[in-house]
Amino acid sequence: MFLDLHLNRKNRDKKSSAPKESISRSALKAISWRLVGTLDTILIAYLITGTISQALSIGFIEWGTKIVLYFFHERLWNRLQWGKK
């Protein structure tokens, strides 16, 4: 009985101290995901426009705006408890 109480308390403590993502991890995830997304955007823009300079311009503008949006999106989702166990 005492052992059960002790083990149950340890399990509760482990659940409540679940690791959370650091700001630097969220930032690195945002950068790596944007790299993939931007390369995709550049390719699509090139296929549509036929010019690499326009494709790169579109890609670099998209890189800057979407990385900031993704970072804040990630941080907001990290605050939500919904779906976490």
| Under 8 Å between Cβ of 67 and 29 | no
Q: How far apart are the first and last CA of the chain?
A: 26
Could you tell me the two tokens for 61?
A: 């503008």
| Under 8 Å between Cβ of 79 and 55 | no
> What string of pLDDT tens digits covers the 85 residues of the chain?
555 555 565 555 555 566 788 888 888 887 888 889 999 999 999 999 999 999 999 999 988 888 888 889 888 988 888 887 7
All structural domains of the chain with their residue ranges: 23-79
CA distance 5 to 22: 32
Angle among Cα 39, 41, 46 to the nearest 5 degrees reads 95
Structure letter (DSSP) for residue 1: -
